Amino acid sequence: MTLKSLLAFILCLACLQAFAQRAVPDQIETKKGNLTIQPVTHGSLVLNWNTKTIYVDPYGGAEAYTALPKPDLILITDIHGDHLDKKTLDALDTEGAVFVVPQAVADQLPEKYKDQVKVIGNGESISELGMFINAVPMYNLPESEDSRHTKGRGNGYILNVGGKRVYISGDTEDIPEMRALKNIDVAFVSMNLPYTMDINQAASAVLEFKPKIIYPYHYRGQNGLSDVEAFRKKVNDKNKKIDVRLKEWYPKKG
Give the tens place of pLDDT for each residue, 182-225: 999 999 999 999 999 999 999 999 999 999 999 999 999 998 99
Band the pLDDT of 146: cuts 50, 70, 90: confident
Q: At what angle do helices 228-238 and 199-209 cross, to 10 degrees?
A: 40
* Alpha-carbon distances, residue 65 vs 22, 37, 237 (angstroms): 9, 13, 36
Instruction: State mean pLDDT over 217-239.
Output: 96
pLDDT digits (tens, 9 = 90+) for 147-180: 889 999 999 999 999 999 999 999 999 999 999 9
Query: Is residue 4 scored above 50 in pLDDT?
Result: no
1.10.3720.10, 1.20.1600.10, 2.10.240.10, 3.60.15.10: CATH of 26-244:
3.60.15.10
* Alpha-carbon distances, residue 180 vs 132, 137, 145, 176, 209 (angstroms): 19, 12, 24, 6, 6
Query: Is residue 249 scored above 70 in pLDDT?
Result: yes
Q: How far apart are CA 188 and CA 166, in angstroms?
A: 8
Residue 162: which residues within 8 A CB-CB, separation 6 or more? Answer: 30, 31, 32, 33, 35, 49, 50, 131
Domain ranges for the chain: 26-244
pLDDT digits (tens, 9 = 90+) for 18-30: 444 789 999 999 9
